[in-house]
Chain A
Amino acid sequence: MFLQRRHPVVFAAILLIAVLALTGCGKTQSADKGSGEKEQKSATADYPEQPITYIIPFNPGGQSDIEARRQQPYLEKDLGVKVNITYKPGGGGATGWAELVLAKPDGYTLCGFNIPHIILQPMERGNTGYKTEDIVPVAVFQATPIGLAVPKDSQFKTLDDFIKYAKDNPNKVTITGSGTYTGHHITYLQLQKLAGIKMTYVPTTGAAPAVQNLLGGHVQAMLGNSNDLVQHQDKIRVLAMASEKRFAALPNVPTFKELGYNIIESIDRGVAVPPKTPPEIIKRLEKAFLAIANNEEVKNQQIKQGFVPVSMGHDEAVKYIKTKTDEYSKLVDDLKATAGK
Chain B
Amino acid sequence: MAEFFLTALQNIFLPHSLLLALGGVTAGIIIGCLPGLTATMAMAVLVPFTFTMNAVNGLIMLGGIYVGAIYGGCISAILVNTPGTPSAIATTFDGFPLAKKGMAEHALVTAAFASGVGGLIGTVILLVLSPILAAVALKFGPPEYFWLAVFGLTIIATLASDSILKGLLGGALGLLLGTIGMAPLGGDVRYTFGLPELQAGIEIIVALIGFFCIPEVLLMIENRLERYKLAQVKTQKGVALKVIKELLQKPGLLLRSSLIGTFVGIVPGAGGNIAGLISYNEAVRFSKQPEKFGTGIIEGVAASEASNNAEVGGSLVPLLTLGIPGGPPAAVLLGALLLQGMRPGPELYVNFGDITYTFIFSLFISNIFMLVLGLYGARYFARLINLPVNYLAPFIVFLSVIGSYAIRNNMLDVWLMLFFGLVGYFTRKLGLHAGPIVLGMILGPIAENGYVQAVLMGRAAGSTVSLFFTRPISIVLIILSLVSALWPFFQRKRRQKEGVNTHVE
**Chain B residues in 8 Å Cβ range of A216:** 138-141
B43, B48, B449: which contacts A72 (Cβ < 8 A)?
Answer: B48
Do A14 and B397 touch (CB < 8 A)?
yes
Minimum CB distance partner of B187 in chain A: A180
**Chain A residues in 8 Å Cβ range of B197:** 95, 98, 129
Residue-by-residue, is B174-202 near A (CB-CB < 8 Å gives 1, otherwise 0)?
Answer: 00000001101111110010101101110
Do B48 and A234 touch (CB < 8 A)?
no
Do B199 and A232 touch (CB < 8 A)?
no
Do A17 and B397 touch (CB < 8 A)?
yes
A94 beta carbon closer than 8 Å to chain B = yes
Do A95 and B410 touch (CB < 8 A)?
yes
Do A304 and B341 touch (CB < 8 A)?
yes
Do B41 and A60 touch (CB < 8 A)?
yes
A80 beta carbon closer than 8 Å to chain B = no
Within 8 A of B (CB), among A83-111: 85-92, 94-95, 98-99
B43, B44, B196, B456: which contacts A201 (Cβ < 8 A)?
Answer: B456
- Determine which residue in A28, A94, A95, A203 has the highest number of CB atoms from chain B within 10 A of its CB, and name it: A95
A21 beta carbon closer than 8 Å to chain B = yes
Q: Interface size (A, Cβ < 8 Å)?
A: 79
Do A95 and B200 touch (CB < 8 A)?
yes
A171 beta carbon closer than 8 Å to chain B = yes
Do B410 and A66 touch (CB < 8 A)?
no
A213 beta carbon closer than 8 Å to chain B = yes
Do B141 and A218 touch (CB < 8 A)?
yes
B225, B397, B411: which contacts A3 (Cβ < 8 A)?
Answer: B225
A72, A124, A232, A235: which contacts B187 (Cβ < 8 A)?
Answer: A124
Within 8 A of A (CB), among B37-93: 40-41, 43-45, 47-48, 51
Do A10 and B390 touch (CB < 8 A)?
yes
Residue-by-residue, is B339-380 near A (CB-CB < 8 Å gives 1, otherwise 0)?
Answer: 101011111000000000000000000000000000000000
Minimum CB distance partner of A185 in chain B: B187
**Chain A residues in 8 Å Cβ range of B290:** none
Do A10 and B393 touch (CB < 8 A)?
yes
A40 beta carbon closer than 8 Å to chain B = no
B331 beta carbon closer than 8 Å to chain A = yes
B477 beta carbon closer than 8 Å to chain A = no
Do A88 and B457 touch (CB < 8 A)?
no
**Alpha-carbon distance A95/B379, docked complex (angstroms):** 43
Do A70 and B188 touch (CB < 8 A)?
no
A125 beta carbon closer than 8 Å to chain B = yes
B389 beta carbon closer than 8 Å to chain A = yes
Do A61 and B334 touch (CB < 8 A)?
yes
**Chain A residues in 8 Å Cβ range of B184:** 205
B142 beta carbon closer than 8 Å to chain A = yes
B139, B185, B331: which contacts A208 (Cβ < 8 A)?
Answer: B331
**Alpha-carbon distance A95/B196, docked complex (angstroms):** 7
Q: Say what secondary structure dominates the interface of chain B.
A: helix
**Chain A residues in 8 Å Cβ range of B181:** 90-91
Do A66 and B201 touch (CB < 8 A)?
no
Do A61 and B325 touch (CB < 8 A)?
yes
Do B460 and A200 touch (CB < 8 A)?
yes
Residue-by-residue, is A49-70 near B (CB-CB < 8 Å gives 1, otherwise 0)?
Answer: 0000001000111100110011
Do B397 and A219 touch (CB < 8 A)?
no
B333, B398, B408, B456: which contacts A87 (Cβ < 8 A)?
Answer: B408
A29, A66, A130: which contacts B339 (Cβ < 8 A)?
Answer: A66
Q: Given A26-B411, A60-B331, A60-B332, do A232 and B323 touch, yes or no (CB 8 Å)?
A: yes
Do B199 and A69 touch (CB < 8 A)?
no
Q: Given A17-B397, A180-B185, do A94 and B200 touch, yes or no (CB 8 Å)?
A: yes
Residue-by-residue, is A127-154 near B (CB-CB < 8 Å gives 1, otherwise 0)?
Answer: 1111000000000000000000000000
**Chain A residues in 8 Å Cβ range of B41:** 60, 87
**Alpha-carbon distance A7/B322, docked complex (angstroms):** 57
**Chain B residues in 8 Å Cβ range of A129:** 196-197, 199
A155 beta carbon closer than 8 Å to chain B = no
**Alpha-carbon distance A231/B311, docked complex (angstroms):** 25
**Chain B residues in 8 Å Cβ range of A17:** 394, 397-398
B414 beta carbon closer than 8 Å to chain A = yes
Within 8 A of A (CB), among B238-286: 268-269
Do A89 and B141 touch (CB < 8 A)?
no
A55, A59, A301: which contacts B328 (Cβ < 8 A)?
Answer: A59
Do A128 and B335 touch (CB < 8 A)?
no
- Determine which residue in B269, B332, B408 has the highest number of CB atoms from chain A within 10 A of its CB, and name it: B408
Do A87 and B44 touch (CB < 8 A)?
yes
Q: How far is the CB of B196 from chain A (nearest CB, A)?
A: 3
**Alpha-carbon distance A184/B226, docked complex (angstroms):** 61
**Alpha-carbon distance A91/B48, docked complex (angstroms):** 26
**Alpha-carbon distance A201/B455, docked complex (angstroms):** 11
**Alpha-carbon distance A3/B141, docked complex (angstroms):** 56
B427 beta carbon closer than 8 Å to chain A = no
Do B460 and A128 touch (CB < 8 A)?
no
Q: How far is the CB of A221 from chain B (nearest CB, A)?
A: 12
B401 beta carbon closer than 8 Å to chain A = yes
Within 8 A of B (CB), among A1-26: 1, 3-4, 6-7, 9-11, 13-14, 17-18, 21-22, 25-26
A317 beta carbon closer than 8 Å to chain B = no
**Alpha-carbon distance A1/B410, docked complex (angstroms):** 40
**Chain B residues in 8 Å Cβ range of A59:** 40, 328, 331
Q: Given A1-B226, A60-B44, A65-B44, do A215 and B397 touch, yes or no (CB 8 Å)?
A: no
Within 8 A of B (CB), among A189-228: 200-205, 208-209, 211-213, 215-219
Q: 12 pairs across A/B with beta carbons < 8 Å?
A: A14-B397, A21-B398, A61-B331, A69-B47, A85-B44, A87-B408, A94-B199, A95-B196, A180-B187, A202-B457, A204-B453, A235-B345
**Supplied contacts A9-B390, A174-B457, 10 more A-B pairs, CB within 8 Å:** A28-B409, A65-B44, A127-B196, A173-B460, A200-B457, A202-B457, A203-B185, A205-B184, A211-B323, A234-B347
Footprint of A on B, CB under 8 Å? 40-41, 43-45, 47-48, 51, 137-142, 181-182, 184-189, 192, 194, 196-197, 199-201, 217, 221, 225-226, 229, 268-269, 318, 322-325, 328, 331-335, 338-339, 341, 343-347, 388-390, 393-394, 397-398, 401-402, 405, 408-411, 414, 418, 449, 453, 456-457, 459-461
Footprint of B on A, CB under 8 Å? 1, 3-4, 6-7, 9-11, 13-14, 17-18, 21-22, 25-26, 28-29, 55, 59-62, 65-66, 69-70, 72-73, 85-92, 94-95, 98-99, 124-130, 171-174, 179-182, 200-205, 208-209, 211-213, 215-219, 231-232, 234-235, 301, 304-305
